[in-house]
Amino acid sequence: MTPKQIERIQIKITKIRKELAADKKRWGGFYDDSRGLRYLPPELYLRIQDYSGALRYFNWFHKNFPDDSGYPVFLFEWAITLFKKGKIKEAKAKTIQTDRANSWIIPAFLQVENSRPPTKMFSNWQTAEVAEEMGYSKHDAELADFAEWLSDFVSSAEFTGLRGDLLQKT
């Protein structure tokens, strides 16, 4: 990616953040964001490999939208960011959360057959199509280390146990 392309993406991020700030001001300290702008910056941060910026954004998101569970690809981007920043314990938790939100995301990324039973569907975000349209795969050179870690983690007894515990609670 050229410096000019990176700059254009940074401008997009800034524009989105300004629009979100204006939305909050317009609604008297609350966000409406019916357009879903709050979900766009992580993909942009990951595209330019600005994991520190992405982590700051996720912290801001968590503070400003504490009841928003996010959508599955957003959660997956969060897991990538946490891993890239060395926050492995948090990355594991976000991976479990991603899998619970959409059990097709991780197999689609790793390009393996989804042999696990799907989670109960409560929304249209929990479909295989969401995973198929996701813009990430284990073949992305920048995500090779994450793909290796993720593959090891999802085949571990820890993941299986945590996932099983969550499925029993639903």
Q: In the prediction, which pLDDT does 149 show?
A: 98
Q: Where are the alpha helices (DSSP H) in the chain?
A: 3-26, 41-47, 51-64, 72-84, 88-101, 105-110, 128-132, 144-154, 157-169
What sign results for the dihedral spanned by CA atoms 146, 151, 155, 161?
Answer: positive
- Sorted by where each begins, the domain ranges of the chain are 1-68, 70-170
C-beta contacts of 54-58 below 8 A and 24+ residues apart: 54/81, 55/81, 55/82, 55/85
Q: Name residue, tokens 């085949």.
A: 155
Q: Name residue, tokens 């609604």.
A: 27
Count the neighbouring beta carbons within 10 Å of the beta carbon of residue 75.
23
Q: In the prediction, which pLDDT does 170 show?
A: 45
Task: Dump pLDDT digits (tens) for 65-84.
Answer: 888 877 899 999 999 999 99
Over range 48-72, report the average pLDDT.
Answer: 93
Over range 142-162, report the average pLDDT.
Answer: 94
Task: Dump pLDDT digits (tens) for 81-109.
Answer: 999 999 999 999 999 999 988 888 999 99
Q: In the prediction, which pLDDT does 160 show?
A: 85
Task: Dump pLDDT digits (tens) for 5-29.
Answer: 999 999 999 999 999 999 888 877 7
